[in-house]
Amino acid sequence: MSPDDTPINDKFPGNSPESRDIAFHMHPYTKPAMLADSGPHIMARGRGVFVQDESGNRFYEGMSGLWCTSLGFSEPELIEAAIDQFGKLPFYHSFAGKTVGPAIDLAEHLISIAPPAADGSTLAKAFFCSSGSEANDTAMKMVWYYQAARGKPEKRKIISRRRGYHGVTMAAASMTALAYAQDGFGLPLDFVKHTSSPCFYNEGREGESEREFARRCADELEALILVEGPDTVAALFAEPVMGAGGVIIPPEGYFVEIRRVLEKHDVLLVADEVICGFGRTGHMWGSQAMDVRPDMLTCAKALSSAYLPISAVLMSDRIYDTLASQADSLGIFGHGYTYSAHPVCAAVALRAQQLMQERDIVGHVQRLAPRFAERIKRMDRFDFIGNSRAIGLIGAMEFSSDRATRGKFDPAVKIAAQAAAAIQEAGVILRALPGDIVGFCPPLVITESELDDMFDRIDTAMDHFATTADAHR
């Protein structure tokens, strides 16, 4: 196939960017028939909290792209860091003891800011990958390696939580307990099991307090471990705040209860900080906001403000020492990627983390968080919003056909997707999430005046959208 002047459909000339995109580009997380009919939305540039498409329309990027561009678009310091490293050493690897300066500096920095670990120590070593999915696959392999080194190779089962999101590679997608990441792919793989989500709004029982709900979640986890056999269960992977599954904020004390069960049955806790890490929750780590205290931690996205692909697995001394001992006996730690600690990616990530500190981004989030939560809470004025929630600069509004009964709209209506489309018409890009939820995740550098203007636009769109929502109830 080659581009010519034959139109793909009546909307796009045959050699237009839209037509060529439809002809040659398979998009992730996109319905092909919809793309063929509507065409791609081509973005051309971005600055600060805004992006602009090829037609010149400007939008607030209310999702930081994909929960990731925390320092905004076209940050000169990150561009300069990339150019500088490209001029020095554009690529080198980390195999066979080789390394590069930016990787050393970034690893040291990450460990210096790492949250408390499960055993009361801190996370002590960093291993680099290129994406959140790779980091979670790597952590899973490390868990298996660790358990085998302890003489417990049968401890291979991995538990994640319903509505959790951990990536889309084979192992990570098995942990991502959302239908769209598994249907049609023959997933999940059989060694991954799923336990309850800490979503009190949807799963709390009549008369049940949040603390009682947290204990019940822990009891359900323990029941699953006992059914599977504690000698076969290796680790639980958990996001401190669940992002793509609907911005689910666990109740207070949830992770204390979860840790109690895991420690009892010798099961590791891996914190997936791919979305929560680096200031999103108003703390450097979601693990600090939710008192997770993991054995291992995965991070990506805001690590480099998404300017270049990089991720990391952090681990405690206990984990690392066991891995290292096993590697010594086997002759090598046989895992790694061509782009592990890529020097340009590492240099940009390091500069991003330095800017986080130099500009007190976490403090800025803490100062802005009450206003952000207030603006999201205003969505409760619509009787088709059953629940709104926020922590730091991440939040959600959840649609309900009947607030009193927490009833749901017909899934075929795609009410959240319709609302997100209406909001985009008002100049704000948000994202519809499973369960008729619209998420909010603006760049952490957003100012209070920009925040208010963004929400004013959302409010106007929602006022108009009320008629549509009412028509579908």
Judge if 284 and 410 occupy the same domain. Answer: no
Which tens digits make up the pLDDT trace of 284-341? 999 999 999 999 999 999 999 999 999 999 999 999 999 999 999 999 999 999 999 9
12 lies in some domain: no
Residue 1 falls inside a structural domain = no
pLDDT of 9 above 80: no
Q: Picking from 30-34, 117-121, 123-127, 210-214, which range would have the lowest pLDDT averaged per residue?
A: 117-121
* Chain position carrying tokens 């986890």: 221
Query: Do 373 and 353 share a domain, yes or no?
Result: no
Whether 320 and 389 map to the same domain: the answer is no
Same domain, 216 and 154: yes
Q: Which of 73, 46, 64 is nearest to 439 (CA)?
A: 64
Instruction: Kindly state whether residue 48 falls inside one of the protein's structural domains.
Output: yes
Task: Name residues whose C-beta falls within 8 Å of residue 35's C-beta, 6 or more positions apart in sequence.
Answer: 22, 27
Which of residues 358, 380, 398 is at a domain's end?
358
**Distance, CA of 249 to CA of 238 (rounded, Å):** 12
Q: Express each pLDDT in 453-467 by its tens digit.
A: 999 999 999 999 999
CATH of the domain at 217: 3.40.640.10
Q: Is the pLDDT of residue 387 over 70?
A: yes
Q: Label residue 168 by pLDDT band (50, 70, 90).
A: very high
Q: Are 352 and 363 in contact (CB under 8 A)?
A: no
Q: How open is the CA angle 364-303-442, to the nearest 5 degrees?
A: 45
Domain identity same for 51 and 115 = no
**Domain co-membership, 244 together with 128:** yes
139 and 187 share a domain?
A: yes
* CATH for 52: 3.90.1150.10
- 69: which 2 tokens? 């561009």
The reply to whether 252 and 127 lie within a common domain is: yes
What pLDDT, on the 0 to 100 scale, is given for residue 2? 45
Average of pLDDT values for 81-95? 98
For residues 375 and 310, state if they share a domain.
no
- Does any domain span residue 5? no
As a whole-number percent, the residues of the chain with pLDDT over 90 amount to 95
Q: Is this prediction's pTM over 0.75? A: yes
Residue 166 inside a domain? The answer is yes
Structure token digits, residue 195: 């336990």
Q: Is the pLDDT of residue 390 over 70?
A: yes
> What pLDDT is stored for residue 5 in this prediction?
57
User: Are 279 and 328 within one domain?
Assistant: yes
Tally of domains in the chain: 2
Cα distances (angstroms) measured from residue 458 to each of 95, 146, 387: 49, 48, 17
| Least confident span in 8-12, 238-242, 317-321, 455-459 | 8-12
Structural domain contains residue 402 = yes
Please say if the pLDDT value at position 28 is more than 60: yes
Among residues 310, 341, 358, which one ends one of the domains?
358
The mean pLDDT value for 83-105 works out to 97
Residue 2 inside a domain? The answer is: no
For residues 251-290, one letter each, b for 16 or more C-beta atoms within 10 angstroms of the residue's C-beta and e for the rest, the string is bebbbbbbbebbeeeebbbbbbbbbbbbbbbbbbbbbbbb
Burial of 53 (0-12, 13-18, 19+ CB in 10 A): middle
Q: Phi and psi of 416, rounded to 5°?
A: -70, -40
Asked whether 71 and 352 are in contact (CB, 8 A), the reply is yes
Determine the structural domain holding residue 338 and report its residue range. 81-358
Q: Looking at residue 121, what is its pLDDT?
A: 79
Helix (H) or strand (E) holding 302: none
Q: Of the candidates 358, 391, 412, which is a domain's last residue?
A: 358
pLDDT for 118: 84
Over residues 243-267, the pLDDT tens digits come to 999 999 999 999 999 999 999 999 9
**In this predicted model, what pLDDT tens digit does every residue of 421-432 receive, in sequence order?**
999 999 999 999
Q: CB atoms < 10 A from the CB of 231, how many?
A: 11
User: Of all helices (H) and strands (E), which one includes residue 159?
Assistant: strand 157-161
Tens digit of each residue's pLDDT (9 = 90 or more) over 114-138? 999 987 778 999 999 999 999 999 9
Are 342 and 97 spatial neighbours (Cβ–Cβ below 8 Å)?
no
- 185 and 272 both lie in a single domain: yes
On whether the CB atoms of residues 232 and 158 are closer than 8 A, the answer is: no
Give me the pLDDT at residue 473, please: 85
- What integer pLDDT is reported at residue 1 of this predicted model? 42
In a domain, 13, yes or no: no
Asked if residue 156 and residue 232 are part of one domain, the reply reads yes
Region 49-61: what's the mean pLDDT?
97
Say how far apart CA 112 and CA 289 lie, in whole Å.
18
Angle among Cα 105, 139, 288 to the nearest 5 degrees reads: 65
